[in-house]
Amino acid sequence: MGDHIAHWDEHGFGPWLFVDRESGAPVGYGGPRRTEVEGRPEVEIGYVLRSDRWGEGLATEMARASVEATLEHGIRDLVCFTYRDHNASRRVMEKVGFRYERDFERAGLPHVLYRWPQVPRRQ
C-alpha cells in the first residue's frame, strides 16, 4: 500500500482500489503505474482481482476503466504484461484492446508484453 501512495506522490497517478458497487467491499486494485521493462521506462496498466470474483468480467472492467482514465490524462504509451501461460489475463488484455508485442523475461520468469495499439512499436 505504501508503494502505491509513494507512486501517487511522485507521479500524480497510480493504482486505485476497486470496490463492489452494491456492498462497497474491495474486489481488487489496479490502474496505471510507472515501471521498467528490460530497462525501458513504461506505464503499465495492471489489475489484481480477488480470486472469489474471477469469471465475472471485473478484471476487464478494471482494465478498461484504467485505460480510459489514463488516456484522458494524456498518457498514450501503455503496456500490460503477465506470465506467458496466464491465459485469463492475456484474454483481458486482448478484450480491452492491447496487442501482443513479444515475449520477454521479468525476474527470471517468462512473460508476454502487450502494448496499447495507438502507439507504434518501439525498435
Say if CB 58 and CB 47 are below 8 A apart. Answer: no
Q: Which top CATH class is 2-115?
A: alpha beta
DSSP 66: H
Residue indicated by cell numbers 496487442:
99
Q: Where are the alpha helices (DSSP H) in 12-121?
A: 58-72, 87-96
Instruction: Tell me what pLDDT residue 57 has.
Output: 93
Round to the nearest angstrom and report the end-to-end CA distance of the chain: 35
| Separation between Cα atoms, residue 108 and residue 45, nearest integer Å | 21
Domain boundaries, the chain: 2-115
Instruction: Tell me what pLDDT residue 33 has.
Output: 92
Residue indicated by cell numbers 512499436:
121
| Separation between Cα atoms, residue 76 and residue 9, nearest integer Å | 21
Question: What tens-digit pLDDT sequence spans the chain (123 residues)?
Answer: 567 777 777 777 888 889 999 999 999 999 999 999 999 999 999 999 999 999 999 999 999 999 999 998 889 899 999 999 999 999 999 999 999 999 999 999 999 999 998 655 554
Instruction: Tell me what pLDDT residue 58 has.
Output: 94
Q: Where are the alpha helices (DSSP H) in the chain?
A: 2-11, 58-72, 87-96
What's the whole-model pTM score?
0.86
Residue from 15, 65, 2, 1 nearest 43 by CA: 15
